[in-house]
Amino acid sequence: MSPKNDFLRALLPVLCLAAISLPAFAEEDLWATMQKTASAARELNYQGLFVYHNGAMIRSVQITHIYEGGREFTRNVVLDGRPREVFSEGDDIVIFNAKNDKVVIEKRRGQNLFPAMLPTQLYPLKQNYKLKFVGQERIAGRLAQVIDMVPNDNLRYQYRIWSDAEYGLLLKMSMLDMQGHTLEQIGFNQVAMLHTKDLDWFQPKIDATKPYVMDDTTDLTHTVDNLVVANLPTGYKKVDQIQLRVPGRTAPVQQLIFSDGLASVSLFVEPMAKGMQPRVGKKTMGSTNVYAHVLNGYQLVVVGEVPAQTVEQIAQQVTFKK
């Protein structure tokens, strides 16, 4: 037996091992990790502190999350800037927002609040992103699997996610532009699993000295009109349409919301009233792009955490049915 054969024989188990462990990085397995990550944020009980960065803006948020009897309860306390508490139960979100001499209660529709950023239905994401295993990193004292979500086209940004190697909880997520610069980032500084189902914490801190007022200027019911967006950018679908009642305006402002499963874009449509200054042009603010123009006597404004090309394409595709 030649030394060369010996070498190959010794190498064989290593090769086999490599062959076995390779599928762990295959895309289908990465999608399984994504699915676990999407579920973990909703089904685990945890408490922690996370930080949101967007350009120069930094916000620390304390989160408590409990999944009990099929219901999900979350309390987010924003620790920087204006006092703000965000409560959610399932898709219902109520915000207690201190503003000068009063506290405004705002209600919202279901949103993917961190760490539940990934939708539980991954199908739309699979159409628009490829996964790439990056490696392992330690985040907030936990070992994380790092996965890149690489877009199939330039109509959306790239994302990187850090998923807890043990629990699957999303520990961190960042959004990157085409050049790989981080546009925004959100991640835990510390996080711990909770072993209680107590809901004592699920209530706002009431300031007895301030009046509480309800913000009810938004009509969250679906509306229909003659608006058509013919060719949406690939992978984007209309997910909602609401109308905003704006004091001092005669007509409500329509807000259409589009999403590719992760990124979202709003299209605002309002009739040009007499004396209204038309807005035409574009703007980039960090990860947010804006495109405005006027069509058939309507002011259109498109806003989204997507590349400039995407907001422009949506704005150009709006037509009005006769």
Partner 1 sequence: MKQQLSALVDGEVDVERCEHIFLAAKSTGEVAQAWRDYHVIRDVLREECWVESDMTSRIMAQLDDEPTMLVPQAVTVSDKVTHIRPRFSKYSWSIAASVAAAFFVGMFVLNQPEVGAPTQIADNDTDQYVVAHHNYAPNSATYYMHNVAYNAGE
Site for partner 1 in 268-297 (CB under 8 A): 268, 270, 275-283, 285, 288, 290, 292
Nearer to partner 1, 51 or 165 (CB): 51
Q: x/- site string to partner 1, residues 84 to 113, per CB under 8 A?
A: x-xx-x--xxx----xx-x-xxxxxxxxxx
Contact between 265 and partner 1 per CB under 8 A: yes
Closest alpha carbon to 235 in 319, 314, 322, 165 = 314
DSSP state of 271: E
Residue 257: beta bridge partners? 240, 266
CB of 286 to partner 1, least distance (A): 9
264 binds partner 1 (CB under 8 A): yes
Query: Under the criterion CB under 8 A, does residue 42 sit at the interface with partner 1?
Result: no
Quote the least distance from Cβ 166 to partner 1, whole Å: 24
* 279 SS3 class: coil
Least Å distance, CB 90 to partner 1, is 9
With CB under 8 A as the contact rule, which of the stretches 1-9, 49-57, 128-136, 229-237 interacts with partner 1? 49-57
Cα distance between residue 215 and residue 246, in whole Å: 12
> Which of 33, 163, 254, 255 is close enough to bind partner 1 by CB under 8 A?
255
What is the gyration radius of the CA atoms in the chain, in angstroms? 23
Beta carbon nearer to partner 1, 218 or 313: 218
CB of 130 or CB of 279, closer to partner 1: 279
Contact 259, 284 (CB under 8 A): no
Rule CB under 8 A: say whether 61 interacts with partner 1: yes
Answer left, alpha or beta for residue 67, where phi above 0 means left and psi between -120 and 50 means alpha: beta
293-322 positions binding partner 1, by CB under 8 A:
301, 303-305
Give SS3 for 312: helix
Q: What secondary structure does DSSP assign to 144-180, as a single string?
A: EEEEEEEESSTTS-EEEEEEETTT--EEEEEEE-TT-
Chain positions 146 to 185 lying near partner 1, rule: CB under 8 A, are 173, 175, 184
Write out the binding residues for partner 1, residues 118-147 only, by CB under 8 A.
none
Nearer to partner 1, 32 or 280 (CB): 280
Other C-beta atoms within 10 Å of 77: how many?
A: 19
The span of 8-16, 132-140, 216-224, 312-320 binding partner 1 (CB under 8 A) equals 216-224
DSSP assigned state of 138: E
Length reported for the chain = 322
Letter string b/e over residues 236-247, b meaning 16 or more CB atoms within 10 A of that residue's CB: beeeebbbeeee
Q: Which is nearer to partner 1, 20 or 208 (CB)?
A: 208
Residues touching partner 1, count (CB under 8 A): 90
CB of 282 to partner 1, least distance (A): 7
Q: Taking the CA of residue 255 as centre, how many other CA atoms within 13 Å lie in the half-sphere pointing to its CB?
A: 15
